[in-house]
Amino acid sequence: MGGRNNKRRQHMPLPLEIEKITGKATKAVYDKMKHDQVRSLKQKTAALKQNSAAKAASTGTKRAAPAQTQSPAGQKRQKQQPQSSGKDAKKQKPAVVAEADSDEDEDASMVVEDGPDGGWDNAPLESDSEVADSDDSLDEFDSANEEDDEAASEDEGEDDDDVVTQKPLSLLSDESDDEEDSDASEADSNDEGVESYDEFSTDGEDDGEEPITFRNMEKRSRKLDAQREEDEEMADMELKDQDQAADGEREAFELPSSEQVEAEKEAPLDLTQVQMRIQEIVRVLNNFSELRRPQHSRNDYMDQLKRDMCFYYGYNEFLMDKLLQLFTVSEAVEFFEANEVARPVTIRTNTLKTRRRDLAQALINRGVNLDPIGKWTKVGLTIFDSPVPVGATPEYMAGHYMIQAASSFLPVMALGPQENEKVLDMSAAPGGKTTYCAALMKNTGMMVANDANKEREKALVANIHRLGVSNAVVCNYDGREFPKVMGGFDRVLLDAPCSGTGVISKDASVKTNKGPEDFGMLTHLQKELILSAIDSTNADSATGGYIVYSTCSVTVDEDEAVVNYALSKRPNVKLVETGLDFGRPGFTRFRGQTFHNSLSLTRRFYPHAHNMDGFFVAKFKKLSNKIQVGDKQIVPAGSGAKLKQKKKH
């Protein structure tokens, strides 16, 4: 049920918000997926109607507990796979990547075991060579997705002839890799000899229109958009009607009695019943005044919802509580559902060695099915499927790319390291962000890559070598000691050790492996590290003076609360825009806590909303190397100012 099994799962259909940040090719494919999604929604509603009577009767029915070997989340996951076939199915299939775990490493959650120092370092870690060797996942995938495979192999048959000449939609026609808006016009000048793009030509065949070419793509895309909007409107109306009709027909939903709750502890309901009850409770909570039973408070419904979600999705109560607080109940369900589905496999072009379009062409020549991640990055590619493990291609071995989660690009983009700067990555292993920084710095200046965990540093060093980074110094300190070791950095990245609640789809153990004490220790460490990062930065840097704090966790304790703490302890920094033009603003208020207003400048990313791992990014500007404490000015160790003072003496 951990990250490895996720390799088999299909991609989640994208919510509309994501379409804004994905390329056109991807969008058209997802149009179809959206269509499927609406259809499946309708089916679900119909099923709900059919089952409502049976369900009401069965709420108290005792059923055997699900077998231990197949967890509720695991069973449910199989049911949740989007249904589609043919070329769409091919696009949706997760890439066959033996190295998906190396991606996991990159932002892996740190398991608490040995206390504050060694505690966060136990996430599974594979060296490059292990990654390259493990190429058996293709078989694994084949047996798991027979239907899709048939469709895919048909497609592959069709594609075989084209493999070398087939162009990625918005890459090869795009000289500068920048404006996808210009795709159509550029394509016009580049499409000689390109008959059609296979992914789209089926549409043409299906509806009797001519196949899609680079020339007519824009027009066809607009037509699809209009059709999709119309379909969605109709589906929405139908759903509303069905809901209303169902509400009228349905017996009012009854919460189980306390006796039934006790009985269910011994003999839990089956998963379908629990899922139905979750849907019912969400429906009641969303229309509370009309659908509630007068004897029950909102808390009664919430308590049952938590119990059911813990059981159904496999979380401990502590974490379920924390995560539920972040969302409305409907959105919480979306979040938990998204955690059951693998994120798309993404890679980052190593611009020290190649360009994205060259890399894309090389991989396409190997039969890899890919697209740009979205407009927001010029170096990222999404891999839909691949006949070879993406961690074992010659291009991978030669360091032309890093397998890296899309979310993990974001803190580096926010940090914006410049050529000839002195940059610190305080928690760097296994090096996804360090190597990205080095690429942006074009191997100039100095990139200090630190991590407290020696084992993880092996992968850091291996990646630095593979990607041809030559400006890096690797060191092995506890980040909290860092300003005393070396300071005066132009920019510092603290990609902090965290609980990993943003990467549950990669590491399901996060659902149960932490309690209140672990969170207490973790947030304490994060607070100490963030002060260290600030103190290691030189406010007088001619080009920088910036600190980025990021986590792959979505809990407010590890994100806004840590940043707010830093603002209170270090009045010599302020939050600034991250420069990331998507993501949700950080909380300024949360369950009775009030944070500094500028916390709205921080950015939150969610699996269900952005189709990437859950992530948090905050960017500080250091204004002064001195801190005013009462009527005294203090210069914390590590800033450039202190070094200068020493030199003068």
Ligand X SMILES: C[S@@+](CC[C@H](N)C(=O)[O-])C[C@H]1O[C@@H](n2cnc3c(N)ncnc32)[C@H](O)[C@@H]1O
Least distance from ligand X to the Cβ atom of residue 549, Å: 12
Strand partners, 195: none
Peptide bond into 483 cis (omega under 30): no
Terminal Cα-to-Cα distance of the chain (whole angstroms): 60
- Looking up tokens 């299909």 gives 10
Least distance in angstroms from the C-beta of 50 to ligand X: 46
Q: With CB under 6 A as the contact rule, which of the stretches 158-166, 240-248, 445-453, 600-608 interacts with ligand X? A: 445-453
CB 94, min distance to ligand X, A: 21
Q: How far apart are CA 395 and CA 188, in angstroms?
A: 30
* Binding region for ligand X (CB under 6 A) out of 126-134, 428-436, 560-568, 638-646: 428-436
Longest Cα–Cα distance in the chain: 85
Q: Would the annotation count 40 as a binding residue?
A: no
Work out whether 613 is an interface residue with ligand X (CB under 6 A): no
**Residue 428 in the binding site for ligand X (CB under 6 A):** yes
Task: Give the range of 80-88, 186-194, 478-486, 554-562 binding ligand X by CB under 6 A.
Answer: 478-486
List, in order, residues 6 or more apart from 272 with CB less than 8 Å away. none
The answer to whether 374 contacts ligand X (rule: CB under 6 A) is no
Q: For residues 252 and 293, is the Cβ–Cβ distance under 8 A?
A: yes
- The smaller minimum CB distance to ligand X, of residues 109 and 273, is found at 109
Work out how close the CB of 500 gets to ligand X at its nearest, in angstroms, rounded to a whole number.
Answer: 8
Residue number with CB closer to ligand X (431 or 636): 431
Contact status: 495 vs ligand X (CB under 6 A): yes
Tokens of 402: 């890093």
Task: Please state the φ and ψ torsions of residue 258, each to the nearest 5 degrees.
Answer: -65, -30
Task: State the Cα angle at 519 between 331 and 487, rounded to 5°.
Answer: 110
Query: Cα–Cα distance between 142 and 3 in angstroms, integer?
Result: 18
- What is the rounded CA–CA span in Å between residue 34 and residue 31? 5
- Binding site annotation covers 430? yes
What tokens appear for 84 in the block? 């589609």
Does position 479 interact with ligand X (CB under 6 A)? The reply is yes
Question: 550: annotated binding-site residue?
Answer: no
268 is a site residue for ligand X (CB under 6 A): no
Size of the site for ligand X (CB under 6 A): 23
C-alpha to C-alpha distance for 266 and 376, rounded to whole angstroms: 50
Is 472 annotated in a binding site? The answer is no
451 binds ligand X (CB under 6 A): yes
Task: Give the separation between CA 319 and CA 515, rounded to whole angstroms.
Answer: 8
Q: What residues act catalytically?
A: 552
Q: How many whole angstroms separate alpha carbon 550 and alpha carbon 45?
A: 40
Q: Which is nearer to ligand X, 456 or 642 (CB)?
A: 456
> Which string of x and - marks every residue 109-148 that binds ligand X (by CB under 6 A)?
-x---------xx---------------------------
Closer CB to ligand X, 39 or 465, in the complex: 465
CA dihedral 481, 483, 489, 491 (to 10 degrees): 60
Of 120 and 376, which CB lies nearer to ligand X in the complex structure?
120
Q: Give min distance, CB of 414 to ligand X, in A.
A: 13
* Under 8 Å between Cβ of 541 and 445: no
Helix (H, G, I), strand (E, B) or coil at 574: strand
CB closer to ligand X out of 427 and 639:
427
Distance CA 297, CA 308 (A): 17
107 touches ligand X by CB under 6 A? yes
Please count the CA atoms within 13 angstroms of the CA of 372 that sit on its side-chain side: 29
Binder among 7, 456, 603, 604 for ligand X (CB under 6 A):
456
106 binds ligand X (CB under 6 A): yes
Residue 518 touches ligand X, criterion: CB under 6 A: no
346 lies in the site for ligand X, by CB under 6 A: no
Site for ligand X in 392-411 (CB under 6 A): 408
Angle at 83 between CA 80 and CA 86, to 5 degrees: 150
Q: How far apart are CA 570 and CA 558, in angstroms?
A: 18
Beta strand residue intervals within 234-288, DSSP E = none
429 sits near ligand X (criterion: CB under 6 A): yes
429 is in an annotated binding site: yes
Is the CB of 107 or the CB of 558 nearer to ligand X? 107
Contact 564, 614 (CB under 8 A): no
638 scored as a contact of ligand X (CB under 6 A): no
Q: 516-535 and 560-569 helices cross at what angle (nearest 10)?
A: 40
Q: Is 432 annotated as a binding residue?
A: yes
Whole-angstrom distance, CA of residue 309 vs CA of residue 472 = 46
Closest CA to 448 of 414, 466, 421: 421
Instruction: Please report how close the Cβ of residue 110 comes to ligand X at its closest, in angstroms.
Output: 6
Give 372 or 479: the residue with its C-beta nearer to ligand X.
479
Find the part of the chain contacting ligand X (CB under 6 A) among 102-110, 245-253, 311-319, 359-367. Answer: 102-110
- Is residue 453 at the binding interface for ligand X, with CB under 6 A as the rule? yes
Q: Which of 487, 497, 614, 638 binds ligand X (CB under 6 A)?
A: 497
Strands 422-425 and 446-450: parallel
- Closest approach, Cβ 411 to ligand X, in A, equals 8
Helices 298-313 & 317-324 angle (0-180, nearest 10):
120
Q: Is 462 annotated as a binding residue?
A: no
**How far is CA 647 from its chain centroid?**
46
Cβ atoms of 558 and 522 within 8 Å: the answer is yes
Of the candidate spans 88-96, 226-234, 431-439, 515-523, the one that interacts with ligand X by CB under 6 A turns out to be 431-439
Contacting range for ligand X; rule: CB under 6 A; set: 128-136, 323-331, 451-459, 502-510 = 451-459
The answer to whether 398 is a known ligand-binding residue is: no
Beta strands in 491-572 (DSSP E): 491-495, 546-551
Residue 590 in the binding site for ligand X (CB under 6 A): no
Six token digits for residue 85: 């076939």
Q: What is the closest distance, in whole angstroms, from the C-beta atom of residue 446 to ligand X in the complex?
A: 17
Q: Which is nearer to ligand X, 88 or 425 (CB)?
A: 425
534-to-267, 426, 547, 599, 646 alpha-carbon distances in Å: 53, 11, 6, 17, 19
> Please, which of residues 408-427 interact with ligand X by CB under 6 A?
408, 426-427
Q: Report in angstroms how near the CB of residue 433 gets to ligand X at its nearest.
A: 4
Shortest Å distance, C-beta 368 to ligand X: 23
Q: Which stretch, 96-104, 161-169, 448-456, 508-516, contacts ligand X (CB under 6 A)? A: 448-456
Which residue ranges are tagged as binding site? 427-433, 451, 478, 495
Which residue ranges are tagged as binding site for S-adenosyl-L-methionine? 427-433, 451, 478, 495
Interaction site with ligand X (CB under 6 A): 106-107, 110, 120-121, 408, 426-433, 451-453, 456, 478-480, 495, 497
